[in-house]
Structure 1
Amino acid sequence: MLLLRRLVLAFALAVLALASPAWANPMLLLDTDTGAVLYEEDAGAPWHPASLTKLMTAFVAFQAIAEGRVALDTPVTISQHAWNQAPSKSGLKVGSALSMQDALYVMLVKSANDVAVAIAETVGGSEKTFVDEMNATAIKLGLTNTHYVNANGLHQEAQVTSARDLAVLALYIRQLYPQYLPIFATEAVKLGKANLETNNDLLTHFAGTTGMKTGFVCASGLNIVATAERNGRSLMAVVLGGSSARERGEMTAELFLRGFSGALPGTGKSILQVANVAGAPADMRSLLCGKQAKAYVAEREAAYPLGLKGKPSYLTDEIEGRIYSATDLGQLRDVPLPRPRPGYAGVQGLSPVADIAAQPAANLGAIVPRPRPRP
């Protein structure tokens, strides 16, 4: 009887998937050890990155630390320009400072827009100079559909990327700067009396999740780059354009489960063989933040109900999140900000990701996991 109920549930979910309306929802799943793409849908389509921009902000900061331009104990001060950024924010006042290490935690866990700009100003001398370095780095990494206008991901029409480019960037972070991966796996940062929590629900509700970053602006929908490890395998998922945090999290967990179980046959491509597509990025503002929002979200809920009240869910694990304590250094006076060396060295050691192109894609089986009911 239990088997029959499971078969009925699997059939019902398959029908829902077939009945889903045609919308852009770029998705990508790959093996992080080989770069083999297990699944991709519109992975090369241009898309607004939102706070996934902060993956590149972090990468450039990691690069600056490696080159000795700044250090983990370099003060990062909240300027008036940084404080003026729209939420999400740290809550720090103008003139307050964090160490670079603490600033990276607050930026990546809380997705604090003010701290992202403060890091950019500390590393580059100005946000504009830092963004120039972000774009130069994107070119060197082969992110051909990526362009940045700011350091935090607040919406700009020209701020664009793709699921493919985000996956390549995330692979570079993992391979070149593994010492910083605990930041991406952190659930909350304590800063004074504030508890700055992540929006990545997989960290506390999907066993094996190891990071990385979420993002949202009205134009992009809800985005995520996530990594997970189970039974000796490491996978990376990118989901863009979710209509809610529930949908984003459930879709990401489903991709992981299908990948770990062998339900996805693989595409025969490495991540570097996924082609980017030219064109303008999708704009979801009218669907998520305009007059159509209520009807659109209801449509998405009907088509993909996992995680709704009374429905099955993939996010049923209860995991104690990693907590990090940051220190507000207070108002610093007469502390000179470091300035970039002329002609920064750029990205070094590109071979780890480049070697992925030579790896064969996995050929997997067809076991489809079923979500568990919520308690």
Structure 2
Amino acid sequence: MLIIRRIILALILVFSSLAPAWATPLLVVDRATLQVLYAEDAGQPWHPASLTKLMTAYVAFEQIANGTVTLDTPVTISRNAFNQAPSKSGLQVDSSVSLNDALYILIVKSANDIAVAIAETIGGSEAGFVAMMNDVASRMGLTATHFVNPHGLHDPGQVSSARDMAVLSLYIEQSFPQYMPMFTTGVVRLGKARLKSNNGLLEGFAGTTGMKTGYICASGLNIVATADRNGRQLLVVVLGGSSSRERDQRAAQLLLDAEAGRLQPNGQTVLTLPNAVGTAPVDMRPLICGKDAKTYAAEQQAAFPMGLKDQPSYLTEKIALHEYTAIDLGRVRTGIALPRPRPPHLPMFSAPAPVESAAIGDILRPGVSPGGSDIPIPQPRPADL
């Protein structure tokens, strides 16, 4: 059966090379050399969706390094953060988590409320943080990229490219390798909730090390995937998938092709790969969420059936997901006046006149005679033996 399966996979690879070209951006990069192994429309402006959160995380990592915040800094869910559209963390207004836990939730669950809460914590406001994101994009040379928000929910002005997302991902790994375990994590536990990643490669493709998925109607289903296999360090970007199955299977196929040597350097590095600056981003809404969605999905299934029922799959390994436990620090109210200090005590009664050689009963219970009460006088504490 294993031999037959390998023959089927080989035939699919042969026939898939004869099929029409994949219509949305693809990019494969050797992370060790930065060489481009395959690129198709990699500089085409595209809506990044939740791939945006790669930049949200990078800005946070940079500010931690600069000392403006720490991993223990509380991140609080404001009303503005709570009101964001799903995906969400499930935290209530005024609830807080540490910045470390917030980053895990951001990356694994792709929670939009957490993205805004991180932005407000670090940038002072969402707009202030977005300015920091665009500053980083400029410093990195991401010429196709412009951010309007920290989460990736649709805005016509939120634009990037496969090339820029690859460069950003490489910067994260090279500048802040200590945070890479966040990207390999598949589940975050928060209270009773189990927040799971949408990256199917983490549990089906051995060697996967991250990094992020994203989806809105205008972008289709996006992924940046990294993997270390058989001595190769690879990165793949797939934008505009019609389903998570197609997106993940495409990414896995490209990783396998690169690992096997079927994809060779094209003479460019990802840094010299040009962007189509000035070109309008593609809007996938008619094909992903509009009236043509069913037809488009059927066409894509016919062109690329990998992973469908009764079809071979590239995601065949059974990998236990790495889990992380985040802690809800509780609700913290802000803007409430603190209690004023208690005023100094003023005695209401005058002190009793001193009594010479007063009896012990008079001292303990003024006005009560030791012999006229059935309440026993406390005896001295016995000495320790």
Alignment TM-score > 0.5, same fold: yes
Q: Deviations over 1:316-349 (max 9, x none)?
A: 000001000000011013499xxxxxxxxxxxxx
Q: Which residue of structure 1 aligns with residue 282 of structure 2? A: 282
Q: CA deviation at 1:16?
A: 4.5
Tell me, yes or no, if structure 1 residue 122 matches structure 2 residue 121.
yes
Q: Deviations over 1:160-214 (max 9, x none)?
A: 0000000100010000000100000000000000000000010000000011000
Q: Which residue of structure 2 aligns with residue 327 of structure 1? A: 327
Instruction: Please give the TM-score of this superposition, normalised by the length of structure 1.
Output: 0.86
Which ranges of structure 1 fall in alignment gaps of 5 or more residues? Answer: 337-375
Q: Which residue of structure 1 aligns with residue 316 of structure 2? A: 316
For 2:205, the aligned partner's letter is F
- Aligned residues of 2:9 and 2:312 also touching (Cα < 8 A): no
Q: Which residue of structure 2 aligns with residue 80 of structure 1? A: 79
For 1:18, the aligned partner's letter is L
Q: CA deviation at 1:131?
A: 0.2
Q: CA deviation at 1:17?
A: 4.8
- Aligned residues of 1:17 and 1:304 also touching (Cα < 8 A): no
Q: Which residue of structure 2 aligns with residue 141 of structure 1? A: 140
Taking structure 1 as reference, are residues 13 and 302 closer, same or farther at Cα in structure 2, changes over 3 Å only? farther
- Computing the radius of gyration from Cα coordinates, the structure with the larger value is 2
Taking structure 1 as reference, are residues 9 and 213 closer, same or farther at Cα in structure 2, changes over 3 Å only? closer
Measured in 1, the distance between the counterparts of 2:8 and 2:187 equals 39
Q: Which residue of structure 1 aligns with residue 263 of structure 2? A: 264
Taking structure 1 as reference, are residues 229 and 326 closer, same or farther at Cα in structure 2, changes over 3 Å only? same
For 2:111, the aligned partner's letter is A
Q: Secondary structure of 2:323's match? A: strand
Q: Deviations over 1:84-103 (max 9, x none)?
A: 10000001111000100000
Measured in 2, the distance between the counterparts of 1:105 and 1:90 equals 11
Q: Secondary structure of 1:270's match? A: coil
Q: Deviations over 1:27-71 (max 9, x none)?
A: 111111110111111111100000000000000000111111111
Measured in 2, the distance between the counterparts of 1:129 and 1:56 equals 14
Q: CA deviation at 1:231?
A: 1.9
Measured in 2, the distance between the counterparts of 1:324 and 1:299 equals 39
Taking structure 1 as reference, are residues 83 and 16 closer, same or farther at Cα in structure 2, changes over 3 Å only? same
- Aligned residues of 1:286 and 1:292 also touching (Cα < 8 A): yes
Taking structure 1 as reference, are residues 250 and 335 closer, same or farther at Cα in structure 2, changes over 3 Å only? farther
Measured in 2, the distance between the counterparts of 1:8 and 1:308 equals 14
Q: CA deviation at 1:3?
A: 6.9
- Aligned residues of 1:218 and 1:289 also touching (Cα < 8 A): yes
Taking structure 1 as reference, are residues 294 and 77 closer, same or farther at Cα in structure 2, changes over 3 Å only? same
Q: Which residue of structure 2 aligns with residue 295 of structure 1? A: 295
Q: Which residue of structure 2 aligns with residue 339 of structure 1? A: none
Q: Secondary structure of 1:311's match? A: coil
Q: Which residue of structure 1 aligns with residue 66 of structure 2? A: 67
Taking structure 1 as reference, are residues 335 and 167 closer, same or farther at Cα in structure 2, changes over 3 Å only? farther
Q: Secondary structure of 1:273's match? A: coil
Q: Which residue of structure 2 aligns with residue 197 of structure 1? A: 196
Measured in 1, the distance between the counterparts of 2:100 and 2:143 equals 30
Q: Secondary structure of 1:82's match? A: helix
Taking structure 1 as reference, are residues 12 and 200 closer, same or farther at Cα in structure 2, changes over 3 Å only? closer
Measured in 1, the distance between the counterparts of 2:205 and 2:2 equals 24
Q: CA deviation at 1:24?
A: 3.0
Measured in 2, the distance between the counterparts of 1:9 and 1:109 equals 31
- Aligned residues of 1:17 and 1:303 also touching (Cα < 8 A): no
Mean CA deviation greater in 7-16 or 311-320: 7-16
Taking structure 1 as reference, are residues 19 and 204 closer, same or farther at Cα in structure 2, changes over 3 Å only? same
Q: Secondary structure of 1:313's match? A: coil
Q: Deviations over 1:69-116 (max 9, x none)?
A: 111000000001101100000011110001000000001000000000
Instruction: Please give the TM-score of this superposition, normalised by the length of structure 2.
Output: 0.84
Q: Secondary structure of 2:214's match? A: strand
Q: Which residue of structure 1 aligns with residue 53 of structure 2? A: 54
Q: Which residue of structure 1 aligns with residue 213 of structure 2? A: 214
Q: CA RMSD for the aligned pairs? A: 1.8
Q: CA deviation at 1:19?
A: 3.5
Measured in 2, the distance between the counterparts of 1:272 and 1:4 equals 41
Measured in 1, the distance between the counterparts of 2:4 and 2:92 equals 59
Q: CA deviation at 1:273?
A: 1.2
For 2:161, the aligned partner's letter is S
Q: Which residue of structure 1 aligns with residue 230 of structure 2? A: 231
Q: Which residue of structure 2 aligns with residue 15 of structure 1? A: 15
Q: Secondary structure of 2:271's match? A: helix
Percent identity between the two aligned chains: 61
Q: Deviations over 1:223-271 (max 9, x none)?
A: 0001100122210111100000000010000011011111112211111
Structure with the greater relative contact order (CA < 8 A, sep ≥ 6): 1 or 2? Answer: 1
Measured in 2, the distance between the counterparts of 1:30 and 1:146 equals 19
For 2:229, the aligned partner's letter is R
- Aligned residues of 2:44 and 2:276 also touching (Cα < 8 A): yes
